[in-house]
Homo-oligomer: A and B are copies of this chain.
Amino acid sequence: MERPRHQGMAKNTYMRWRLPLVCLLWEVAMIVLFGVFVRFGAEADAHWEEEKREMNLTSDIENDFYFRYPSFQDVHVMIFVGFGFLMTFLKRYGFGAVGFNFLLAAFGIQWALLMQGWFHSFKNGKILIGVENLINADFCVGSVCIAFGAILGKTSPIQLLVMTLFQVTLFSVNEYILLNLLHVKDAGGSMTIHTFGAYFGLTVTRILYRPNLEQSKDKQGSVYHSDLFAMIGTLYLWMYWPSFNSAISDHGDAQHRSAINTYCSLAACVLTTMAFSSMLQKKGKLDMVHIQNATLAGGVAVGTSAEMMLTPYGSLIVGSISGIVSTVGYVYFTPFLESRLHIQDTCGIHNLHAMPGLIGGIVGAITAAAATEDVYGKEGFIKAFDFTGVYQTRTPSIQGGFQAAGIVVSLLMAFAGGAIVGGILKLPIWGDAAAENCFEDDVYWEVPEDEESDVYHMHNPDKPASP
């Protein structure tokens, strides 16, 4: 059945040779680089029996696998189902949301294993990986999924792969500066993942500004069932966020504490989101956009401080505030950003990740600056902030200052990186769709004829069968 193709006329979105070429070349590069550099870490290597003896471990349960694997799987679900389905809210972009997220994340984790490996797990010329590397690779890709939210529906899969390549690289550099040079704590990634990822994505979408985007306005909304699909993403992000924030914390109390703080923050966030969603709408009705997104701000906003002694009530306060800020953002800031600053933010990542990420960085700095040996215990204090070696003399207030510096560095990296990458993505060679074909799966996907469409078709013989 032949149908007229608007996009075919306006822009060349033909992917047949470009997309396979990029995918295959990059996968070959991954294989070569993995072949040269990546090996199993001691706890995943068959020599582990000897290692165990050397480290005086009496049981296999001491393998880091058992400390972190359940959290890893939860994080994995957040990246692929959480982000993927969260973005299926658009009525005709579900395939792109979940499918392109799948593609970029699958590529991104391979590249992240290398980039982060060179910075953090490089020994004698080899990158030695274990479950913690898998988690960190997922984290790194999380920042790309966030940026994807800003440009959702407006880019080709090749653009997404190019963005992933550069963003993972910049993420790893930024992470190295923060964690190693500034000696900053950021286990849940308020700064490294959310602040960086969101402002990076917002800068990219600003540069890719499409003045005629209202031509696809009819496709920018949801339908009833697409909103339910999106809620699957929301809930998995919400439920597993305690695992996200605790996944790479120190063994023992730190992991335990991170999970509790995040649980509390997220619970509070739901209530303030619901309150403001109803309050800011004339008819007092709840808006699914807020429920799908702003309820998660509480997880972002304790990303840095969750493993610290934030306390459960501190978490409730942070969660409450971030829910309010995020909901207000959806109602007032997003339209403002689009009309005045020409930032077209499809999923509202400014409200879900950027602002809560900044809150998270600031709360982390304050919590660190307020730390005392009394609250943490002598040993706990040193362990919580790694005040050992050259950092032995660092005081909480200095640590707070460095934490704040980490926010600034992340912002600068995001703006500068986003500007460069946005410029690259603006080149007319990547096959993105024309404005009137944005938010439409039909451009890059084989889309089945729907029953509804059949009905539609039946009664409108001169209209195309598929929207």
Picked from B60, B242, B270, B291, the residue with its CB within 8 Å of the CB of A252 is B60
A130 touches B95 (CB 8 A): no
B285 touches A49 (CB 8 A): no
Cα A116 to Cα B388 with chains together (Å):
40
Q: How many protomers of this protein does the assembly include?
A: 3
Stretch among A198-206, A207-215, A257-265 lining the B interface: A257-265
A270 touches B102 (CB 8 A): yes
Picked from B288, B311, B380, B445, the residue with its CB within 8 Å of the CB of A48 is B380
B69 touches A309 (CB 8 A): no
Interface size class, chain A: 35 or more
Interface of A is mostly: helix
Stretch among A179-187, A274-282, A342-350, A413-421 lining the B interface: A274-282
Cα A270 to Cα B283 with chains together (Å):
45
Q: Known contacts A235-B81, A257-B46: does B275 contact A446 (CB below 8 Å)?
A: no
Question: Which chain B residues lie closer than 8 Å to A227 at the CB level?
Answer: 94-95, 448
Q: Known contacts A61-B67, A448-B222, A452-B451: does B14 contact A284 (CB below 8 Å)?
A: yes
Question: Which chain B residues lie closer than 8 Å to A27 at the CB level?
Answer: 268, 271-272, 275, 316, 320
Task: Please provide the chain A residues from 237 to 255 with a CB less than 8 Å away from any CB of chain B in the complex.
Answer: 238-240, 242-243, 251-255
Cα A316 to Cα B110 with chains together (Å):
9
Question: Which chain B residues lie closer than 8 Å to A446 at the CB level?
Answer: 281, 283, 285-288
Stretch among A30-38, A166-174, A328-336 lining the B interface: A30-38
Question: Which chain B residues lie closer than 8 Å to A235 at the CB level?
Answer: 80-81, 84, 98, 102
Cα A295 to Cα B67 with chains together (Å):
29
Tell me if A76 is interfacial: C-beta within 8 Å of chain B. Answer: yes
B447 touches A224 (CB 8 A): yes
Question: Which chain B residues lie closer than 8 Å to A317 at the CB level?
Answer: 31
Interface centre among A242, A252, A259 (most CB of B within 10 A): A252
Question: Which chain B residues lie closer than 8 Å to A221 at the CB level?
Answer: 448-449
Tell me if A1 is interfacial: C-beta within 8 Å of chain B. Answer: no
Cα A276 to Cα B131 with chains together (Å):
30
B84 touches A19 (CB 8 A): no
Stretch among A145-153, A352-360, A371-379, A398-406 lining the B interface: A371-379
Q: Known contacts A35-B313, A260-B129, A317-B31: does B380 contact A46 (CB below 8 Å)?
A: yes
Cα A276 to Cα B20 with chains together (Å):
6
* Nearest B residue to A286, CB-CB: B445
Stretch among A189-197, A389-397, A422-430, A455-463 lining the B interface: A455-463
Task: Give, as a whole number of angstroms, the nearest-CB distance from A28 to chain B.
Answer: 8
Cα A9 to Cα B95 with chains together (Å):
39
16 A-B residue pairs with CB within 8 Å: A16-B278, A23-B274, A34-B312, A40-B311, A40-B312, A45-B257, A46-B381, A48-B252, A50-B379, A65-B252, A88-B228, A95-B227, A102-B235, A103-B271, A110-B316, A223-B451
A positions within 8 Å CB-CB of B: 14-17, 19-21, 23-24, 26-27, 30-31, 34-35, 38-40, 43-50, 52, 59-67, 69-71, 73-74, 76-77, 80-81, 84-85, 88, 91-92, 94-95, 98-99, 102-103, 106-107, 109-110, 113, 129-131, 134, 157, 221-225, 227-229, 231-232, 235-236, 238-240, 242-243, 251-257, 259-260, 263-264, 266-272, 274-276, 278-279, 281-288, 291, 295, 309, 311-313, 316-317, 320, 375-377, 379-381, 383-384, 444-452, 455-456, 458-459, 467
Excluding A15-B278, A44-B256, A451-B452, 13 further A-B contacts by CB distance (< 8 Å) are A20-B275, A20-B276, A38-B311, A44-B260, A47-B253, A47-B377, A65-B256, A77-B239, A110-B264, A283-B446, A285-B444, A287-B446, A452-B455
